[in-house]
A and B are shown apart, each in its own frame.
Chain A
Amino acid sequence: MATTARPDTFYDVMRRQGVTRRSFLKFCGLTASALALGPEFIGTIAHAMETKPRTPVLWLHGLECTCCSESFIRSAHPLAKDVVLSMLSLDYDDTLMAAAGFQAEAMLEDTMQKYKGRYILAVEGNPPLNEDGMFCIVGGKPFVERLRYAAKDAAAVIAWGSCASNGCVQAARPNPTQATPIHKVITDKPIIKVPGCPPIAEVMTGVVTYMLAFDKIPELDAQGRPKMFYGQRIHDKCYRRPHFDAGQFVEQWDDEAARKGYCLYKVGCKGPTTYNACSTVRWNNGVSFPIQSGHGCIGCSEENFWDKGSFYDRVTELNTFGVEANADKVGLVAAGAVGAGIAAHAAISIAKKKDHEKETQE
């Protein structure tokens, strides 16, 4: 198959695929608004995309359920089709790729060599460490071996979902396979955690698009999550919040209060302790989110949410922080500690080109 000496830019590919200049700018505008950025950023995004080659992404799967991949292909803006075929180059992904067996392995090797230090490693699932790693075998070898190998020359690593970020369900007590979040085996690369079981589709594509457009990783909180999507509690922006404040609660499923859409706090909603964008971005192109459809939040983007009692137990430690308090502040005060932040601004350059480094915003 033909290869070109200079990789195409994102803009080249979009134009060659028949996207007009006008549609392209419209897309940049949509991206800006999806990222909650003002119209002044449209030019920045457009310039970045005009000058960047398509960044290769290697998407590995460990112990997982593939809900993250399924969520990703639900993205409405941008469309998953455009992300996969136009914005980046999805060179390896067991779930979607045509190749199998050694031809698939060759794709991994080729990209790792050709784009050394310039590809993004996206990880769905996590490695089990018990049984010499052989609770998850790929190509006859333990998955953890492949994970370390592929991370070696990555520019940055994305931890998709709660499995890669926190361990998720297979790491719940007693964690029989010793399933381990990826930051415990990859310690020398910036890791962007995008937790949730799964994460919201537009949050996933939003994070990727942000990295491509601004050529850096998003600002992260102390747990490594992008603040733009995980900076506030679901409770803070919940449309049922006025009922909480008014003391109007669902007491039992399908009672009169449930039919009126009252607050689900008393039937176990974890919205007050969960940092995610469900009550703002909502799900499946904004159709609804768990609380809107009558079930409390189960806290699926929080660490160890499986081991915090029943999903129907009432949250007992309701903190009194206002909407301005993010997870770091709440966590720091709760722990009685100060100054534990991490350097979240380790801006990385992915397939960088000198002439647009100035475009990065902070």
Chain B
Amino acid sequence: MTAIQTPNGFTLNDAGKRIVVDPVTRIEGHMRCEVNVDDDNIIRNAVSSGTMWRGLEVILKGRDPRDAWAFTERICGVCTGTHALTSVRAVEDALGIAIPENANSIRNIMQLTLQAHDHLVHFYHLHALDWVDVVSALKADPKATSELAQRISPWPKSSPGYFHDIASRLKKFVESGQLGPFGNGYWGNPAYRLPPEANLMAVAHYLEALDFQKEIVKIHTVYGGKNPHPNWLVGGVPCAINVDGVGAVGAVNMERLNLVSSIIDQTIEFIEQVYLPDLQAIAGFYKDWLYGGGLSATNVLSYGDIPEKANDRSVNNLLLPHGAIINGNLKEVHEVDLKDPEQIQEFVTHSWYKYDDEGRGLHPFDGVTQPNFALGRNTKGTRTHIENLDESAKYSWIKAPRWRGHAMEVGPLARYIVGYAKGIPEIKEPVDKLLTDLGLPLTALFSTLGRTAARGLEAQYCAHLMRHFQDKLVSNIKAGDLATANTAKWEPDTWPKEAMGAGTTEAPRGALGHWIKIKDGKIDNYQCIVPTTWNGSPRDPKGNIGAFEASLMNTKVENPDQPLEILRTLHSFDPCLACSTHVMDKDGREVTRVKVR
């Protein structure tokens, strides 16, 4: 093809060399990325493909709506719990069930726990190696590393001896020749910019964060019994409260509340003394690498989450902001109506599904999904050995959702842009401070680095909100309210013959929605549109590219054999492919059985 202008403002040109990254690692699920670079190794065409499909909503059809949380929770074990919460909210919306205040506080604490945990693990274990050169850390001087660490944070593990120990362990590990997960990384690539001391500090914190993350999730274990995949309940939460009487040890009691409280304190401390100082230090070395903005400067979407009061979905009651921004106009934040058939629609022109009329989009209440694995004429390779995809045809297991026809970015950066545009002080002030400290303008936020920074700031905000809701829970108990579940409409014979509802959360990766139709006490239709469906979407019938593809455009790749920059920008979204690729066949479909050999 010659150059193509997309309606959302990008110029695509596939004339240059094609680079394939498959598998894209350090993500959840399976994903492939192909790009074309020009003679200067600048990306001029980007193709992102979701390469798995599980069909969970097909499986949900005909089941008990009260069980749906457990099924949908298994959409993703990384953002564990957020689908379950979205699901119970959708069922409660459909059936008109109000939950007790304590249940709202406990649900919020669990959701915020997920945000803090997920952001921390993403930064250190899925994303850091895009900025941090592990091998360079071998050259670090422990004393200089200690000085660096002590300059940026009061975190106590910062002595020269500590970093000397880490450095010698790392050296011996590398010399063993069995590099395990660090094997074959892009070490030494010129796109790595940290001095050895910053690399060593980051490696130390990679290991500390791996140890610490398992503590945060114990909050899920207290309230939900386990992590990953804690338990939830339509109508409230399953854990009862008993702080006084006989049998208190069988419920949420003072010891349990103290355990949660102590973990919240530790979480705030780790984020503020390790995560954020590291983030700012690393950003300082990359602040002129401002690629990767993609759609963030123009179109972002957030449903909002963390209701202060129970059962109130109004915009002002949500502590994570709600709204959509289009065409880069920060002065106007639009309200989003999940039930308006004209607003959210999904398209499949370039997805491996079939619609009767593929020029049209469908609202999730009327969603149809018929798998249709077909490759374009210009595909290189065969049906089961793909070398290059043909993006002019179908090329992904992800559908293309659009808001009023616009491709949108979702996630921490989207939430922070919406919050910033609304002037919410808890969001705007930390953003302004970080930008000032780094000497960067607001526009620098619209970048890979901005996405990574927003996630860190959000982790801090969420950790403090955990404290807020834990305190609120305790004061509500003190006021004599022990209720954790509303069972008035538990039995299906109390339900209307037909009902429909929608539930939302802000998952760590962005706006998440579930839509349910209930008929005769069973699920008649179930649809999810998840964050990575938005971000990882293929092209739509008009040719708009999605957020992943947009973010890669015009990025310079230092060494096309080591496409570090591609990983860096894709990882900044924290892709979750198991989430994104499982939409429903409304009418069921004939399943071809194949013989198991």
Partner-B contacts on A (CB < 8 A): 1-4, 7-8, 12-13, 16-18, 54, 56, 61, 63-71, 73-76, 79-81, 84-85, 88-91, 93-101, 103-104, 106-107, 128-143, 145, 168-170, 172-180, 184-185, 197-198, 201, 240, 252-254, 258-262, 278, 283-285, 287-295, 298, 300, 306, 310-312
Contact = CB atoms under 8 A, between A and B. Distances in A.
Given A66-B78, A73-B210, A104-B25, A170 B178 contact: no
A63 B53 CA distance: 8
Contacts, number: 361
A351 B228 CA distance: 32
A253 B490 contact: yes
A258 B397 CA distance: 44
B177 A2 contact: yes
Contacts of A7: 177-178
B29, B126, B371, B381: which has the most chain A beta carbons within 10 Å? Answer: B29
B64 interface: yes
A70 B77 contact: yes
Contact of B74 (A67, A107, A289): A67
Contact of A198 (B76, B229, B482, B484): B229
A75, A76, A135: which has the most chain B beta carbons within 10 Å? Answer: A135
Interface stretch (B54-62, B323-331, B353-361, B501-509): B54-62
A84 B259 CA distance: 28
Contacts of A129: 594, 596
By Cβ-Cβ distance, the 8 closest A-B pairs, closest first, are: A261-B250, A67-B77, A260-B247, A98-B185, A290-B225, A293-B225, A295-B238, A295-B231
Interface stretch (B216-224, B287-295, B430-438, B442-450): B216-224
Interface in B14-29: 20-29
Contacts of B490: 252-253
A65 B81 CA distance: 12
17 contacts: A2-B177, A8-B176, A16-B169, A65-B75, A73-B210, A91-B183, A96-B125, A103-B184, A103-B562, A168-B74, A170-B56, A174-B58, A185-B596, A252-B487, A262-B247, A283-B225, A306-B71
A275 B597 CA distance: 29
B180 A90 contact: yes
B507 to A, nearest CB: 13
B21, B179, B210, B230: which has the most chain A beta carbons within 10 Å? Answer: B179
Given A176-B59, A177-B55, A294 B30 contact: no
A65 B588 CA distance: 23
Nearest to B75: A65
Nearest to A253: B485
B591 A130 contact: yes
A295 B233 contact: yes
A254 B596 contact: no
A4 B182 CA distance: 17
Nearest to A252: B487
Given A98-B184, A254-B487, A142 B384 contact: yes
A49 B182 CA distance: 23
A18 B227 CA distance: 32
Given A95-B26, A137-B51, A293 B386 contact: no
Interface string B404-443: 0000000000000000000000000000000000000000
A97 B226 contact: no
A16 B172 contact: yes
Interface in B565-589: 567, 578, 585, 588-589
B178 A8 contact: yes
Contact of A85 (B180, B183, B225): B180
Given A1-B179, A132-B384, A178 B67 contact: no
A136 B75 CA distance: 15
A56 B52 contact: no
A140 B32 contact: yes
Given A81-B211, A170-B55, A310-B67, A253 B259 contact: no
A284 B227 contact: yes
B181 interface: yes
A81 B373 contact: no
Contacts of A184: 596
B63, B214, B226: which has the most chain A beta carbons within 10 Å? Answer: B226
Contact of A63 (B52, B78, B169): B52
B249 interface: yes
A172 to B, nearest CB: 5
Contacts of B589: 176
A131, A201, A259: which has the most chain B beta carbons within 10 Å? Answer: A259
A260 B222 contact: no
Contacts of B175: 2, 4
B154 to A, nearest CB: 24
B346 to A, nearest CB: 18
B52 A135 contact: yes
A46 to B, nearest CB: 20
Contact of B129 (A98, A170, A283): A98
Given A61-B30, A64-B77, 11 more contacts: A8-B176, A74-B213, A100-B567, A128-B53, A138-B23, A140-B386, A140-B387, A175-B59, A197-B229, A259-B240, A310-B63
B558 to A, nearest CB: 15
Contacts of B593: 130, 178
Contacts of A79: 210-211
B156 interface: no
A184 B399 CA distance: 31
B401 interface: no
Given A1-B177, A141-B384, A174-B591, A283 B226 contact: yes
Given A168-B74, A178-B594, A258 B385 contact: no
A104, A142, A173, A306: which has the most chain B beta carbons within 10 Å? Answer: A104
B217 to A, nearest CB: 6
A259 B245 contact: yes
Interface string B534-574: 00000000000000000000000000001100010000000
B70 interface: yes
Contact of A65 (B76, B172, B236): B76
Given A18-B168, A98-B182, A284-B214, A180 B596 contact: yes
A107 B176 CA distance: 16
B174 interface: yes
A107, A185, A295, A311: which has the most chain B beta carbons within 10 Å? Answer: A295
B246 interface: yes
A67 B221 contact: no
Given A18-B165, A99-B184, A141-B386, A198 B210 contact: no
A310 B214 contact: no
A16 B168 CA distance: 8
